[in-house]
Amino acid sequence: MIKEGIIGASGYAGCEVLRLLLMHPAVEVTGVGARSFLGKKVSDLYPSFYNVTDLTYTTDEEVIAGADVVFAGLPAGISEKYAKACVESGKKFIDLGADFRLEKEEDYIKWYGKAYEDKPLHEKQVYGLPEVHREEIKKASIIGNPGCYPTTVNLGLYPLLKHHLNAGTKVIIDSASGTTGAGKKLTEDTHFTKTNESYHPYKAGNHRHTPEMEQELSHMADEKIQVTFVPHLLPVNRGIVSTIYIPVKENLTLEEIHHIYTDTYKDEQFVRVLPLGMNADLKFVTYTNYCNISLHMDARDHTLIIASTIDNMVKGTAGQAIQNMNLMFGLKENTGLNFVGPSF
């Protein structure tokens, strides 16, 4: 059994990793860390774990000592020291936060207001999108788990950019996320009275996930891709729907593009390209590790419209992290992740 530890296990991301790992047939969760809740049972904070696990929150150092792989659900700027401790002791480290996603330190400084404290450590990082970086992930010691918004966007655009079907380098993206995407800490925007029966944009044009998208999309296209990204807050707990607009070459039909998408993802269990005429709907991916993609065309100016939807806490966070862990330890990639979503 692979021994698993979770740091930051009192937050939504860490809690979701725990929920999924407890159902994983090849692992044992040996420690969960949360500085604010030392000595308390996980079930004291999350009653769904009552009579499921007796795990109690311990120190981060104890979590690392007892694990083969450590998941970290921490705010930006905190994960480096834990990653270093894991690497030095021969353990794997999967960061659910932003500290190991960006290749350029100047991007991290600009968007997160922090510099790298251990620059050589970042040479070991691998961006953890399995459908694109599978072989690198298998050999990695540090994984930067993708952001939830970038997961929808990167998977939505990968076949198009990989095959150079775009007619421009500008992408416009509207995304809408459930409130768990904002984390557990309460803000003015996440009060019930603000979110209930509401829908609104936030951080329009200056969201921190923008450089992550541009980095990965530019690699896919072999040219610089510029993103205009506007996220919105949905009054639901889970789910992301990203609607992506990009001009495509005029000689391409929607049917031809759809064929390229289905062919690109034909061996990918967790990416489902829907038949033409269907619309991606977040209801049918909640509590699963699936990304559903639907394709549409505005024929007037030959703009491809891509709808890409995931559960932000599973494929957008914990499920993808476990998918990465499976690859790192030579397990079947779908181990512990074969969940079917709700039908209604």
pLDDT at 343 over 80: yes
- Confidence at 59, pLDDT banded by 50, 70, 90: very high
Q: What percent of the chain has pLDDT over 90?
A: 89
pLDDT at 184 over 70: no
Average pLDDT over residues 291-307: 96
Residue by residue, DSSP assigns 267-312 as: T-TTEEEPPTT----GGGTTTSS-EEEEEEEETTTTEEEEEEEE-T
C-alpha pair distances (Å), 224 with each of 104, 126, 161, 211, 267: 15, 20, 11, 12, 28
- Confidence at 182, pLDDT banded by 50, 70, 90: low
What confidence score (pLDDT) does residue 196 get? 78
pLDDT at 179 over 80: yes
Among 157-171, 172-186, 196-210, whose mean pLDDT is lowest? Answer: 172-186
The domain spans of the chain are 2-146+315-328, 149-312
CA-nearest of 28, 8, 344, 310 to 156 is 310
- Helix locations, 113-253, DSSP H: 130-138, 148-162, 192-195, 210-221
Residue with tokens 């700027």: 77
What confidence score (pLDDT) does residue 128 get? 98
With contact defined as beta carbons under 8 Å apart, do 93 and 86 qualify? yes
What confidence score (pLDDT) does residue 195 get? 74
Average pLDDT over residues 216-221: 98
CA-nearest of 119, 117, 112, 113 to 97 is 112
- Helix locations, the chain, DSSP H: 12-21, 42-45, 60-65, 80-88, 105-112, 130-138, 148-162, 192-195, 210-221, 254-264, 319-328
Mean pLDDT, the chain, integer: 95
What confidence score (pLDDT) does residue 192 get? 75
The top-level CATH class assigned to 149-312 is alpha beta
Q: Are strands 303-310 and 291-298 parallel, antiparallel or unpaired?
A: antiparallel
Q: How far is residue 107's CA from residue 81's CA, in Å, rounded to a whole number?
A: 20
Contacts (Cβ under 8 Å, ≥6 apart) of 303: 245, 246, 247, 248, 297
Q: How far is residue 216's CA from residue 193's CA, in Å, rounded to a whole number?
A: 37
- Confidence at 4, pLDDT banded by 50, 70, 90: very high
- State CA 87 to chain mean position distance: 22
pLDDT at 109 over 70: yes
Average pLDDT over residues 175-190: 76
- Residue pLDDT, tens place only, 237-268: 899 999 999 999 999 999 999 999 999 999 99
pLDDT at 31 over 70: yes
Q: How far is residue 145's CA from residue 23's CA, in Å, rounded to a whole number?
A: 21
pLDDT at 43 over 70: yes
Q: Assign a CATH topology to domain 2-146+315-328.
A: Rossmann fold (3.40.50)
Residues annotated catalytic, as ranges: 148
Amino acid, single-letter form, for residue 253:
T
Higher model confidence: residue 77 or residue 190? 77
pLDDT at 20 over 70: yes
pLDDT at 180 over 90: no
- Residue pLDDT, tens place only, 110-150: 999 999 999 999 999 999 999 999 999 999 999 999 999 99
